[in-house]
Amino acid sequence: MGPTRALTRALGGNGVLLMAILVAALNLRTPLTALPPVVSEVSVELQLTAATAGLLTGIPVLCFALTTPAAAALLGRISLRSGVLLALLLVLAGTCLRSVDLGGLAVAGAFAGTVLIGLGITTANVAVPMITQRTFPTRVSTVTGIYTAVINTGTMVSTALTAPLAHLIGWRWALASWAVLGVLAVAWWWLAVPTEGGRRGHPLPQEGSRPARAAGSGEVRDAVGGRSVLREKYTWALCVMFGMQASSYYGLTAWLPLILADLAEVPVSASGAAASLFQGFAVLGSLGASVGIRYAGLRPSFIAIACGWLSLPLALLVAPGVWMVGVSLAGAAQGANFVLVFTLISRRFASVHRARKASATVQSVGYSLAAVAPTMVGGVHTLTGGWQVPVAIVAGALVIMTVLGVLLTGSRTPRA
């Protein structure tokens, strides 16, 4: 009996699939967060300006915003297993292409590789929630929480280790070294996850459901009944809610070390490590969210999340001395809120077909707002000469998120 078959027999098909999801999760932010620690070395060797280097780090978020609808359409036509394999292969190819020395084409290779990474992660961002809803329908928040925690763990590890690796072996090999995770993930999905013809109960088949047109109305209706998710106010309210979450996250992440140094008087040499708490506590928030949702319910959990999120801008503006509390609570909150958003999608849109469309719409709108957030925050800082106004704008975005979140978590979430 081979190792894959033995593991399948021991854990069950769903256990093997969960492990596959988690191995894939290690690849869904790691190539992105590995670049900032060595971006100065990359800029020097490739002769990039500051603006061009910023574009290199921002391309994946633009891919999230612009190509999510196309990724969702593709996943409506191929099996989810094939979709995740394609996503992982794109990330793996992009990681290698970005790192290879192509001589006069090195800059083009770096940008092309980054685009491939962005396209792969975008596809996985849509596929994994679909797999979670289909295979773990009663444990969506739990699986999403574990999945998000693994993503955040990979983020912390790559952020911490890439610079030391670059010092030893150079930035190209340091960035390329994360391709090992991609090889592992591709191998696991290829060998362990059953194909469309796999054992009964365990395959990941093609979605196969298409929109149906309501007789005599001309309105496109989903395959399981009901009007298109694009016609529901709930979908667009969720778009804005997630947009405020994502733009606040990316807007703060880009500038948090400088904000802490200015407003909280954290030494510049320590501000990077202080800001890393924001990412580190996201792991705890992702894991804790599923527990809170399961035992306290959606609305109480979200209220706690919103309070934690708001504690950071309020601490920076009103009581900078307690910045560590704000950074820790907000870090946990942003990780937890990601889980809650996709739990709302799975509960409101019970069929995989409707959930796919809703998830694609929410992510496309949300990441579009997130893509411009770092530039906007930096621009406001330049105009005002300080960080108080940019932080206040982030606080305003979080207030909008809170109002919508309270309304959405109190809405009925029917199941088909």
Of the candidates 62, 66, 221, 224, which has an alpha carbon nearest to the alpha carbon of residue 133? 224
Q: Does 290 lie in the same domain as 185?
A: no
209, part of any domain: no
Q: Does 127 lie in the same domain as 267?
A: no
Can you tell me the distance from the alpha carbon of 198 to that of 224, in angstroms, rounded to the nearest whole number? Answer: 25
208, part of any domain: no
Residue 318: partners with Cβ closer than 8 Å, 6 or more residues away: none
Q: In angstroms, what CA-CA distances link 116 with 67, 107, 252?
A: 12, 14, 26
Domain-terminating residue out of 194, 217, 245: 194
Of the candidates 285, 33, 316, which has an alpha carbon nearest to the alpha carbon of residue 178? 33
For residue 214, the 8-state DSSP code is P
Q: Does 391 lie in the same domain as 252?
A: yes
Q: Does 346 lie in the same domain as 238?
A: yes
Can you tell me the distance from the alpha carbon of 110 to that of 63, in angstroms, rounded to the nearest whole number? Answer: 15
Q: What is the pLDDT of residue 211?
A: 40
Q: What is the pLDDT of residue 413?
A: 53
**Bridge partners of 50?**
none
Domain-terminating residue out of 194, 211, 237: 194
Compute, in degrees rounded to 10, the torsion defined by CA atoms 338, 339, 345, 347.
Answer: -160
Q: Does 166 lie in the same domain as 83?
A: yes
Can you tell me the distance from the alpha carbon of 8 to that of 13, in angstroms, rounded to the nearest whole number? Answer: 5
Place of tokens 């800082």: 381
Q: What are phi and psi of 220, to 5 degrees?
A: -70, 125
Q: What is the DSSP string of 22-73?
A: HHHHTTSSHHHHTSGGGHHHHHHHHT--HHHHHHHHHHHHHHHHHHHHHHHH
Q: What is the pLDDT of residue 246?
A: 92
Can you tell me the distance from the alpha carbon of 332 to that of 148, in angstroms, rounded to the nearest whole number? Answer: 12
Q: Does 189 lie in the same domain as 233?
A: no
Mean pLDDT in consecutive groups of 10 residues from the start of the chain, 416 residues: 48 71 88 80 80 75 85 84 91 92 83 92 88 79 84 82 85 90 90 61 45 38 57 90 92 82 80 76 88 89 96 93 92 92 86 82 89 84 88 95 93 52
User: If residue 412 lies in a helix (H) or strand (E), which one and from where to where?
Assistant: none
The whole domain housing 296 covers: 228-415
Of the candidates 65, 244, 282, which has an alpha carbon nearest to the alpha carbon of residue 155? 282
Q: Does 69 lie in the same domain as 162?
A: yes
Specify the 3-state DSSP secondary structure of 220.
Answer: strand
Of the candidates 303, 327, 265, 336, which has an alpha carbon nearest to the alpha carbon of residue 402? 303
Q: What is the pLDDT of residue 227?
A: 65
Q: Does 245 lie in the same domain as 169?
A: no
Q: Does 249 lie in the same domain as 393?
A: yes
Specify the 3-state DSSP secondary structure of 221.
Answer: strand
Q: Does 243 lie in the same domain as 176?
A: no
Contact 309, 401 (CB under 8 A): yes
Sign of the Cα pseudo-torsion (270, 60, 113, 85, in order): positive
Q: What is the pLDDT of residue 406?
A: 94
Chain centre distance of CA 377: 21
6, part of any domain: no
Q: What is the pLDDT of residue 3?
A: 47
Specify the 3-state DSSP secondary structure of 82.
Answer: helix
For residue 213, the 8-state DSSP code is E
For residue 206, the 8-state DSSP code is B
4, part of any domain: no
**Bridge partners of 220?**
213
240, part of any domain: yes
Q: Does 387 lie in the same domain as 293?
A: yes
Can you tell me the distance from the alpha carbon of 63 to that of 75, in angstroms, rounded to the nearest whole number? Answer: 16
Place of tokens 């001309």: 218
Q: What is the pLDDT of residue 141?
A: 78
171, part of any domain: yes
Largest separation between any pair of C-alpha atoms in the chain: 69
Of the candidates 171, 125, 156, 160, which has an alpha carbon nearest to the alpha carbon of residue 21? 125
Supply the CATH number for residue 36's domain. Answer: 1.20.1250.20
What is the value of pTM for the model shown?
0.77
Report the amino acid identity of residue 146: I
Q: How many domains does the chain have?
A: 2
- Percent helix, strand, coil in the chain (nearest 5)? 80, 0, 20
